[in-house]
Amino acid sequence: MTKKLIAAAVQWAPEVLDLERGLLRARDAMAEAASNGAQIAVFPETWLLGYPYWASISVRDPRFTEARRRLQQLALTRDGEAMRSLQKAAADAGIAVVMGLHERAGGSIYNVAAYISADGQLLNLHRKLMPTNTERLVWGQGDGSDMQSVEMSGAKVNGLICFEHQMTLARHALAIKGVQVHAALWPGHAFINGVIDASTRHIAHENGCFVVAAREVMSIDRLGKHLPDFSDEPERWYGNGGSAIIAPNGSYLVEPVFDAETILYHELDFARIDDASWLFDGVGHYSRPDVFQLRWDESPKTPRA
């Protein structure tokens, strides 16, 4: 029997630097997605606690320091209460989840995609390999140990975060691990809409998989009163969404939706993966290991706990 799976892309605004409200909102999104039949839900990049749109202001600005300190205080730990709360929410809803969040280990913070099964097991934490531009003021670098596929709701699932999609060898590494559903976690920046369209559709074709691309909507009026005053630059906080669901041939199953808080759904028919790989299989009949080889260090580089 052909495998089918209902996937959801969550395009809700985050609760910026508010862990308690963020966890409640995550629980509500999981419950809503599950009630609509979804078996797996993908959230945007660092959705829990919010993407650091504030990172591009001057580090001498006291607002930067205040936001950084608050993030360092609230960022999740692997075995902490907040992570367990996320796992329980997934189990209560009975839905597998790929959640973008901030992880703290020692004195460092990481941009992470957390893979949580429908029974609440934490299957993998993938740390973004390379923070982009001013993100380097916020996050440390990941390593090659967590570039893995995990079994979620009967599907092989992996993914990348933001500009990791531009790392050719990272895309190939995921293909080697086997993938049926690729979770693409992005922020809401409107200026990269074209990049995201090209990147997500390309990896769907290149790796012969479905892609669930999740982005948030955001605006300055959604910031809580616990945050510094950013009213002088509202454009900094504008995120226009653009989540989508893409078939293995690179065509849209659900086209990008902009400027609306919503959850996107579509049933994924895995027969389409077989059709796509018959035409092009980058790690199968279309590979040339006699010509090209990937050297990949999968050993963990464990930071100070």
CATH number, domain of 162, equals 3.60.110.10
pLDDT of residue 304: 62
Q: Return mean pLDDT, the chain.
A: 95
Residue 296 covered by a domain: no
Q: What is the average pLDDT across 166-172?
A: 95
Residues with Cβ within 8 Å of 73's Cβ and at least 6 positions away in sequence, in order, are none
Confidence tier at 2 by pLDDT (50, 70, 90): low
Q: Tens digit of pLDDT for each residue in 86-139?
A: 999 999 999 999 999 999 998 999 999 999 999 999 999 999 999 999 999 999
Q: Tens digit of pLDDT for each residue in 204-262?
A: 999 999 999 999 999 999 999 999 999 888 999 999 999 999 999 999 999 999 999 99
* Range(s) of the domain holding residue 14: 4-279
Residue 106 covered by a domain: yes
Q: What is the average pLDDT across 266-275?
A: 96
28 three-state secondary structure: helix
* Spatial separation of the C-alpha atoms in residues 38 and 91, rounded to whole Å: 13
Q: Take residue 278 and report the two structure tokens written for it.
A: 């018959």
* Spatial separation of the C-alpha atoms in residues 275 and 272, rounded to whole Å: 5
* Spatial separation of the C-alpha atoms in residues 301 and 92, rounded to whole Å: 34
**Count of other CB atoms within 10 angstroms of residue 29:** 23
Q: How many domains does the chain have?
A: 1
Is 88 annotated in the active site? Answer: no
pLDDT of residue 305: 59
Is 206 annotated in the active site? Answer: no
Residue 288 covered by a domain: no
In whole angstroms, what separates CA 100 from the centre of its chain? 5
Confidence tier at 1 by pLDDT (50, 70, 90): very low
250 — alpha (psi -120 to 50), left (phi > 0) or beta?
left
**Count of other CB atoms within 10 angstroms of residue 211:** 31
Residue 285 covered by a domain: no
Residue 27 covered by a domain: yes
Q: What is the average pLDDT across 57-70?
A: 95
Active-site pick, 15, 103, 128, 135:
128
Is 128 annotated in the active site? Answer: yes
Q: What is the average pLDDT across 40-55?
A: 97
Active-site pick, 15, 45, 103, 216:
45
Residue 214 covered by a domain: yes
Q: Tens digit of pLDDT for each residue in 14-29?
A: 999 999 999 999 999 9
pLDDT of residue 302: 76
Active-site pick, 162, 206, 209, 216:
162
Q: Is 125 in contact with 103 (CB distance < 8 Å)? A: yes
Residue 292 covered by a domain: no
In whole angstroms, what separates CA 141 from the centre of its chain? 16
| pLDDT of 38 above 50 | yes
Residue 205 covered by a domain: yes
Q: What is the average pLDDT across 135-146?
A: 95
